[in-house]
Amino acid sequence: MNEVKSTAIASVGADGSDLLVKYNTGRTYRYTGAGTELNDLVASESVGRFVNSRIIGRFPASVES
């Protein structure tokens, strides 16, 4: 997992084709099929805005922890 600068997100990473997003609440979400978005996510100006606009609602999510 890569730490990121965000008020809502602590770190992000890929697990195969899935994207893992650990929120500052301590919960980690797995976004199925979104692993290809990782490079763009890390390079984005706002990680939270990117997740909200390009990940949530477009990829199935499940809570890891």
Q: Output the pLDDT for position 4.
A: 95
Is residue 48 predicted with pLDDT exceeding 80? Answer: yes
Radius of gyration of the chain (CA): 10
Domain positions in the chain = 2-63
CA dist 48 and 51 (Å) reads: 5
Which pTM does this prediction carry? 0.94
Average pLDDT over all residues of the chain = 96
Residues 6+ apart with CB under 8 A from 20: 1, 12, 13, 14, 28, 29, 30, 31, 64
Task: Report helix, strand and coil shares of the chain as percent, to nearest 5.
Answer: 30, 35, 35
Per-residue pLDDT at 33: 98
pLDDT in tens, 28-37: 999 999 999 9
Per-residue DSSP letter, 20: E
Q: Which pLDDT does position 23 carry in this prediction?
A: 97
Q: Look at residue 20 in the predicted model and tell me its pLDDT.
A: 98
